[in-house]
Structure 1
Amino acid sequence: FEDMVVVEYMLSIVQRLPYLGPIYGGLREGVSIYLQGTIPENINRFFINLLCGESESSDIALHFNPRFDGRDKVVFNTCQNGSWESEEKIHSMPFCKGQAFEMIILVSSHGYKIKVNGNDFHHFKHRIPFERVCAMQIAGDVSIQTINVIGVMGGQPIYNPPVPFSNMIPGGMFPKRTIIIRGMVPYGGDRMSINFVVSRSRDIAFHLNPRVREGVVVRNSMIGGCWGQEEREISMNPFMEGQYFDMSIRCGNGRFKVFVNGQHLFDFVHRFQSCNEIDMLEIDGNVQISYIHF
């Protein structure tokens, strides 16, 4: 498992539409589905369905259907045994023509909590047990860049945190633990830093420092107030202005393994005595963070 790129609680994909695919492991309380996409100028409508099977004729536990029809609204519904139930119509449109969006579907014990661009939008109560959901369908006038299915292992994700960011890592780092960070380098952004810190001593066990204009990703550590030797060699630089990135940082027995956008970027050999003492994550610089999953 040391070389796994995708951990079991995260599915990251870029898809052409229409899309119909499985949700590996299904849904459970605390799971969230993160979507990032763009609304075209000539939109009419699109939909997102959470299905109880992997065919278009399966029961639909959640039907999410924005409609730009002159009386803009979002329709929620379910469909069982081929029959649609009563619609819930929200006469408020959280999407804008020609603009990008971020959307989250959070599974709670009572229903699906929908957020768009960081704002609470609607809570659709369960009509079909969420345990039956095993697939997702997306079609219509929308462009989807990324779908992430994030589970509850290791705690809840943090969405849209402000930068600078500093937070304790629940349970600390340990072998085989993976931290997921999704974000974007804004236009004009030059550099950022991601630090894995020992809070009691303020030692930086792992310093990850993408420098956009130089086209390098610097790695280092700072122990006892002294910086170590920089590491700069990489086969590619995935950090570019205006581009989203998905980063997976996995703590191994002897090293950190870093993947970006599904590709192995580098390994960083542990310089600190024990990775178990690493208990804080800090992020600073020119970066916008969509979410962090511990």
Structure 2
Amino acid sequence: MAYVPAPGYQPAYNPTLPYRSPIPGGLSVGMSVYIQGTAKENMRRFHVNFAVGQDDEADIAFHFNPRFDGWDKVVFNTKQSGQWGKEEKKKSMPFQRGSHFELVFMVLAEHYKVVVNGNPFYEFGHRLPLQMVTHLQVDGDLELQSINFLGGQPAPAPYPGTDYPMTIPAYPAPGYNPPHMNSLPVMMGPPVFNPPVPYVGALPGGLTVRRTIIVKGYILPTAKNFIINFKVGSSGDIALHINPRIGEGVVRNSFMNGSWGSEERKVSYNPFGPGQFFDLSIRCGTDRFKVFANGQHLFDYNHRFQAFQMVDVVEVKGDITLSYVQI
């Protein structure tokens, strides 16, 4: 089965530069743009533009521009009617040459909030209306690993038998199940950025068919393993135990009635290595879990715990830091 991204979660993996892409549904308050990449060893500068249009001459509502030039700084600006406005600068460089980074732009009512590697960095007040922004542009001395637009509305789909679009909420309410969306996974809440490890998150209403959980993080250079458990809080039973072991493989198992079952280990590849980012998408189906890593199918795990609806806790622990979790 091909990867079916959940509404509100449609990452682009390893995009090429220059990156120019429409923002799904346009920009709106409450959205976040999440970028993972690596600053090149010889980095001089790169930019991220929230652009009004797709061509090179388009106006820019927000220009984010780190510069390594002897006076390391980050420049912020707006281009309107072809003219650059007044620069804002911060003489602080949150990026390191040759190092991975996580860059998040949170779109708030009064400003863009910029967060780098989990640390708030800058707030840039809106000079152009958010509704004018249609595209994201990224270019410069970096390598991109992923770009993701979080919290936006998916494109409206026509309702069967009509020509009228019906907007599907990014986070459908329990019981919201339009007939033509049956195959899509659902997520119930917004992402939590940079939660501490160990992480414990509640699944209100329990685990349901088509529900998708996203776990995105960074494996520490000295890591040996980490664990993700789908757990019944009242009994301690574990419907799915995922245990990537560095240099070994990816162990899966279930813990029921006080005992572990038989391990499953077979995978076609192991995407987990020290000093690397990972992006896991775990989807619950009627008869199995389907797990994707960095957009590629990793493994299926048949339900052993048949009453999987009782699973109400997700826990993550081990030798990692978490970028965000969405359950």
Same fold, judged at TM 0.5 (above): yes
Instruction: Name the counterpart of 1:148.
Output: 148
TM-superposition CA deviations, 1:113-160 (whole Å, max 9, x none): 101121111111222222332211112223322222222633232222
TM-superposition CA deviations, 1:152-186 (whole Å, max 9, x none): 63323222222222221355321111111112333
Q: How does 1:66-145 map to 2 (within 5 A)?
A: 66-145=66-145
Instruction: Name the counterpart of 2:202.
Output: 168
Instruction: Name the counterpart of 1:184.
Output: 218
Q: 1:254 aligns with which of 276, 281, 287?
A: 287
Unaligned stretches of 5+ residues in structure 2: 152-169, 172-187
Deviates more, 1:76-85 or 1:194-203: 76-85
Query: Cα RMSD over matched residues?
Result: 2.1
Instruction: Name the counterpart of 1:157.
Output: 191
Identical pairs, percent: 50
Q: What residue identity is the alignment partner of 2:324?
A: Y
Q: What residue identity is the alignment partner of 1:211?
A: R
Following the alignment from structure 1 to structure 2, what is the Cα–Cα distance between the partners of residues 254 and 135? 39
Q: 1:213 aligns with which of 231, 247, 256?
A: 247
Unaligned stretches of 5+ residues in structure 1: none
Q: What residue identity is the alignment partner of 1:181?
A: V
Distance 1:97 1:261, change over 3 A: closer
Report SS of the residue matched to 1:4.
coil
Count of matched residue positions in the alignment of Structure 1 and Structure 2: 292
Q: 2:308 aligns with which of 263, 275, 282?
A: 275
Instruction: Report if the CA contact (8 A) 2:3-2:295 is conserved.
Output: no
Q: TM-score, normalised by structure 2?
A: 0.82
Q: 1:200 aligns with which of 221, 224, 234?
A: 234
After the TM superposition, list the runs of 4 or more consecutive aligned residues in structure 1 that deviate by more than 6 angstroms: none
Following the alignment from structure 1 to structure 2, what is the Cα–Cα distance between the partners of residues 96 and 234? 34
Distance 1:238 1:39, change over 3 A: closer
Report SS of the residue matched to 1:229.
coil
Q: TM-score, normalised by structure 1?
A: 0.90
Instruction: Report if the CA contact (8 A) 1:5-1:262 is conserved.
Output: no
TM-superposition CA deviations, 1:211-254 (whole Å, max 9, x none): 2232x222111122122222222222222223222110011122
Following the alignment from structure 1 to structure 2, what is the Cα–Cα distance between the partners of residues 173 and 78? 45
Report SS of the residue matched to 1:166.
strand
Q: Are 2:30 and 1:30 aligned?
A: yes
Distance 1:90 1:24, change over 3 A: same
Q: What residue identity is the alignment partner of 2:189?
A: G
Report SS of the residue matched to 2:101.
strand
Instruction: Name the counterpart of 2:270.
Output: 237
Instruction: Report if the CA contact (8 A) 1:73-1:92 is conserved.
Output: yes
Instruction: Report if the CA contact (8 A) 1:12-1:149 is conserved.
Output: no
